[in-house]
Structure 1
Amino acid sequence: MIRTTHVGSLPRGAELTDLLFAMEAGEAVDTARLDAVLSLAVDDCVRRQVAAGIDIVSDGEMAKISYATYIKDRISGFDGDSPRQPPADLEAFPSFLARQAKGGGTPSYRRPRCVGEVRPVTLAPLEDDLRRFAAARAAHGPQDAFMNAASPGVIALFQPNDFYPDDDAYLEALAEAMRPEYEAIVAAGLILQLDSPDLGLGRHMMFKNRSDADYLVRIARHVAVLNHALRNVPADRVRMHVCWGNYEGPHHCDVEMETILPVLMQAKPQGLLFETANPRHQHDWEAFAAHRGLIPDDRILIPGVIDSTTNFIEHPRVVANRIGQFVDLFGAERVIAGTDCGFSTFAGFGAVDPEIVWAKLAALAEGAALASSRIAA
């Protein structure tokens, strides 16, 4: 009765990671070899998702160096690099920030800036992703499938604007440039997942020097622009992921779910993925309980019941209990069990050991089955 899914990114093997970083560095890469390695990687990750008991699978974002910067190869206007701006919670603990950087906790890849007109250039990389994913699904037969795409807001969060006159103009250009990708994913029969950490993480990064009131105005604008980009896409074929940063850290600057929930409910996507497994957000179910009247009757909630930053394998009973908090509030038909975030947000970077990732996904499925049995009883 309770279906399972996850946020999208899964561990990439060493050979694939090396090829992706070689391309990122501008080195010559044998395209036939890259396609073969990618095809095998997508096939393997779909096979392992199905074996673990995941119902709604992804392609693991195998072809992407990261979930937001991949767009530079598909739309125009980006070049160079951007200095890293640490989130406010890490700035408050400089010794921990230094330890993270020294220990490889800060991924190294290029974050280009917007230096020119943003417009669609090619859907060829997406078409390759769709082809490989379709082959893997045909081979392994998952119940359903989704594909990730960056929201306009998260692109703006990580890739600053040096070209457009203001933030609104930049967001609008991004939305129109990304719209063909969004529509193509849905046209391929997949659920479109919009990754939108700007709505959570943005508070202590992009908007860390602004008031809560200003922040809420800005993210409401992010949501409005996203909705416009989705104008040709049915709401029930889209879901949106919101998080506060997929890293181990203090997270004491995270904005409360209760604060942003009214804005999130203005977004068109029917599905909402959000964190509830990590220690900073385990109480967030209370916001949904206190504001049930804000939640549209057709909204599908996908709480993260598995932590993506720890190598603890959650006990299935813990998973079932977390699922149960939302089932009790909204009913089993409106809840899907998910993960807090992706397990390999950037190629070659992930806090969880790759083999433990699969064990955690299996625990997710086992916990969902237990929650389902409790409902049936």
Structure 2
Amino acid sequence: MIRTTHVGSLPRSAAVSDRLFAREKGIALDEAEYHRVMEEATHAVLRRQKEVGISLPSDGETSKISYATYIKDRLSGFEGDSPRRPPADLADYPSFMERLSKGGGTPTYRRPCCTGPIAVVDRRPMERDIAVMKAAMAGAGYAEGFLNSASPGVIALFQVSNYHRTLDDYLHDVAEAMRVEYEGIVAAGLILQIDAPDLGLGRHMMYRELSEEEFLRRAEIHVEVLNHALRNIPGDRVRMHICWGNYEGPHTHDIPMAKVLPVLLRAKPRALLFEASNPRHAHEWAVWRDAAIPDDYVLIPGCLDSTTNFVEHPELVAQRIERFAGIVGADRVIAGTDCGFSTFAGFGAVDPEIAWAKLASLVEGARIASGRLS
């Protein structure tokens, strides 16, 4: 049976989002009630995934305001806000970028700068996430699940350092601090998912002035730093997500998968979640067909687009799965999504109920493909 999963973030309730943003603004909250709401919401999102039929669930990133800036509550050295820089493709079309902004298509939240030494100052949020996830998995009947954690590169992508002498110094300090979270998740028996949009989106944001070759060298350094942070963790307990930005836009500056794939394959995680359904990257299945893929490598292609309210037909999902199964074998393919459905709390291009309908279609498509591949 082809297994199913997703990138991690799932629609959060208004009760969750309101509390996350209240805390972000420094509004005093009842701590016990805050954690009760987060815990109940996590249990609910695990139950919903079980009802839909998802094989490998997450906690929906319920307790995090976003997939990268949450680290400010766990590490020292972060405060204030970082300057915004739009992706290069949106800068090419200012009228469209303005429309996105006016229509609420660009979420507003704090991206703290690094202003001092980085160290782990509070393990409790991580430990609480792990404990709640494991309890929710048990309650929903799951034996296996994953938790997301930001890569050093994506932390640096959104949160600049005004403290470090060089970017590489910053990356290494972040990596050493995040190593505690990486190892903690795996030690708890969960799968670690490294979120690394810096290896795709970074090309047209963080490194937009560089040539492709210069970017690829920077991407190699990001992977080297990540591998060092993962040095104590078996590669088969880690999966990695790359994307070019979870937004509807031209994406005309996305670096092709063919260019970046050799760098991705050097990363320690033995499974990769990648965009394979949206109109800019759906054709790149052929890159995998022509690549030399390690025998222990698991592909988790996006079989759903996470920026459109179209509900993909299960037959289309099945065809997408079969295409990748024909490359590496059905036992090395897990059906996934292009990206998350609520990358930032309270924000998502896809209506929450439609997001669940899309996941149900993913499960049905996997069932169809499994029948044909058996």
Q: What band does the TM-score fall into relative to the shorter chain? A: over 0.9
Counterpart Cα distance in 2 of 1:183 and 1:14: 32
Q: Which amino acid aligns with 1:139?
A: G
- After TM superposition, the runs of 4+ consecutive aligned structure 1 residues lying more than 6 A away are none
Counterpart Cα distance in 2 of 1:133 and 1:174: 25
Q: Which amino acid aligns with 1:248?
A: E
Moved more, 133-142 or 229-238: 133-142
Match of residue 120 from structure 1: 120
Match of residue 105 from structure 1: 105
Report 1:57-76 matches (<5 A).
Answer: 57-76=57-76
2:331 aligned residue (330, 333, 339): 333
Counterpart Cα distance in 2 of 1:8 and 1:199: 18
Counterpart Cα distance in 1 of 2:128 and 2:262: 37
Match of residue 355 from structure 2: 357
Report 1:307-318 matches (<5 A).
Answer: 307-318=305-316
Question: SS of the counterpart of 1:225?
Answer: helix
Moved more, 114-123 or 260-269: 114-123
Match of residue 89 from structure 2: 89
Moved more, 332-341 or 133-142: 133-142
Match of residue 211 from structure 2: 211
Q: After superposition, give the CA deviation of every residue in 1:258-284 in whole Å (9 maximum; x if it has no partner).
A: 000000000000110000011111011
Superposed displacement of residue 119, structure 1: 1.2
Match of residue 322 from structure 1: 320
Counterpart Cα distance in 1 of 2:349 and 2:371: 32
Q: TM-score, normalised by structure 2?
A: 0.99
Match of residue 253 from structure 1: 253
Q: After superposition, give the CA deviation of every residue in 1:58-84 in whole Å (9 maximum; x if it has no partner).
A: 000000000000000001111110121
Q: Is the 8 A contact 1:220 1:263 kept in 2?
A: yes
Counterpart Cα distance in 2 of 1:322 and 1:36: 40
Match of residue 193 from structure 1: 193
1:372 maps to 2:364: no
Superposed displacement of residue 142, structure 1: 2.2
Counterpart Cα distance in 2 of 1:185 and 1:296: 25
Query: Structure 1: which 5+ runs fail to align?
Result: none
Match of residue 306 from structure 1: 304
Q: Between the two proteins, what is the percent identity of the paired residues?
A: 62
Superposed displacement of residue 143, structure 1: 4.7
Match of residue 177 from structure 1: 177
Q: After superposition, give the CA deviation of every residue in 1:321-356 in whole Å (9 maximum; x if it has no partner).
A: 011110001001110000000000000000000011
Query: Structure 2: which 5+ runs fail to align?
Result: none
Q: Which amino acid aligns with 1:264?
A: L
1:234 maps to 2:234: yes
Q: Which amino acid aligns with 1:59?
A: D
Match of residue 264 from structure 1: 264
Q: After superposition, give the CA deviation of every residue in 1:272-316 in whole Å (9 maximum; x if it has no partner).
A: 00000111110111111121x2x1110001000001000000000
Counterpart Cα distance in 2 of 1:255 and 1:217: 13
Counterpart Cα distance in 2 of 1:116 and 1:286: 45
Superposed displacement of residue 218, structure 1: 0.4
Counterpart Cα distance in 1 of 2:33 and 2:143: 30
Q: CA RMSD in A?
A: 0.7
Match of residue 5 from structure 1: 5
Q: Is the 8 A contact 2:137 2:143 kept in 1?
A: no
Q: How many residues align?
A: 374
Q: Which amino acid aligns with 1:320?
A: A
Counterpart Cα distance in 1 of 2:104 and 2:143: 37
Q: Is the 8 A contact 1:8 1:342 kept in 2?
A: yes
